[in-house]
Amino acid sequence: MQLPRIFTAMVTPFNESGEMDYDQAGRLAEWLMAHGSEGLILSGTTGESPALTDSERMRLLRAVRERLGPDVPLWMGTGTNNTVHSRELSWEAADNGADGVLLVCPYYNKPPQEGLIRHFTQIATGLPIPVMLYNIPSRTGVNLLPASVRTITQECDNVVAIKEAGGSLPQLQELIGVLPPRVRVYSGDDAMYFTALTLGAYGVVSVAAHLVGNELGTMTQSVLEGNLERARRIHATLTPLFQELFRYTNPISVKWALNYLGIPVGDVRLPLVTPHHEQAFESLRQLIIRLVSAGLYSEAEA
């Protein structure tokens, strides 16, 4: 199975009433695939999964699948801090056309490593579609260690990737070293992606690809071709954008940016809120203007 290198963790569009806008979700997905994304992950952190109902998740999946057709890699976030619920969601995602599932570490519970191993293996065992693990200690309060990832992949052949957002280059390097080649390591942090690539990471699960998917693809290809200088220049150009997109809790800033560019995705849902003071997004606005002027990004309606 050939996995995409540039996965975009897609935002979830809402209308002015705060309800899911399924038509716009389909249009956004189509637009992203035309602008550098190679696959999409729905209802992940960037998709505001904690604020979605189970029925909204599945209807979103069906709407985007109908719009994109059967050939686009379409994965779905189904991880929760409840093992049984996560397994049920994962099977439902498979039944509704997902090509794979993204399973975040259980949050709030703070399980030990043995609990993490058993949680993921129980969800993945028998699941008819592949699994990507997701380690992000800053949100979950628990760090999935490389040795635990290796154990999980040894027990479950369908665990084929991990999104690593631990913020530690030594841990990332260890992870790449202990996993078999069939298990792909993705950077879960746009700002660390260039370095992750040079260490042997396979790809990125990106937020910034909403805006600069083509550039991330060019950077990836440059590293694969050995042109590190060109890749470094792209990374340096995009770094200010990476930083601004995470000034506020994701996906507040990227949703603001898309709306600013004329791609309507609505506001975030509570408990997230968008800052409304005058200078809240001024730095991001100026960056987008420079990107457009430099030809790195073209405004377009989704």
- Provide mean pLDDT across the span 290-301: 64
Hey, which residues are catalytic here?
Answer: 134, 163
> What pLDDT score does 181 carry?
94
299 has a pLDDT exceeding 60: no
Domain holding 152: CATH number? 3.20.20.70
Q: In this structure, what token pair is assigned to residue 10?
A: 């897609």
Distance CA 20, CA 184 (A): 32
Report pLDDT digits (tens) over 140-198.
999 999 999 999 999 999 999 999 999 999 999 999 999 999 999 999 999 999 999 99
Express as a percent the part of the chain with pLDDT over 70.
97
Distance of CA 124 to the CA centre of its chain: 19
Average pLDDT, the chain: 95
Domain span including residue 140: 6-231
Distance CA 82, CA 224 (A): 39
Q: Which residues pair with 42 in a beta bridge?
A: 76
Distance CA 239, CA 225 (A): 22
Q: In this structure, what token pair is assigned to residue 102?
A: 């993204």
- Residue 163 domain-assigned? yes
DSSP helix/strand/coil, 109? coil
Report the 10 Å Cβ neighbour count for 279.
8
Report pLDDT digits (tens) over 11-35.
999 999 999 999 999 999 999 999 9
- Residue 286 domain-assigned? no
- Residue 300 domain-assigned? no
> What pLDDT score does 302 carry?
33
- Residue 253 domain-assigned? no
- Residue 244 domain-assigned? no
Checking 86-89 for CB contacts under 8 A at 24+ apart, the result is 86/119, 86/123, 87/122, 87/123, 87/127, 89/54, 89/57
- Residue 259 domain-assigned? no
- Residue 294 domain-assigned? no
Q: Which of 136, 111, 122 is nearest to 186 (CA)?
A: 136
Q: Which helix or strand (DSSP H or E) is residue 162 part of? A: strand 159-164
58 has a pLDDT exceeding 50: yes
Q: In this structure, what token pair is assigned to residue 186?
A: 């993705």
262 has a pLDDT exceeding 80: yes
What predicted TM-score, i.e. pTM, was given to this entire model?
Answer: 0.95
226 has a pLDDT exceeding 70: yes
Total number of domains in the chain: 1
Report pLDDT digits (tens) over 92-148.
999 999 999 999 999 999 999 999 999 999 999 999 999 999 999 999 999 999 999
- Provide mean pLDDT across the span 243-261: 97
> What pLDDT score does 1 carry?
66
- Residue 80 domain-assigned? yes
- Contact by Cβ (8 Å): 181, 165: no
Report the 10 Å Cβ neighbour count for 202.
19
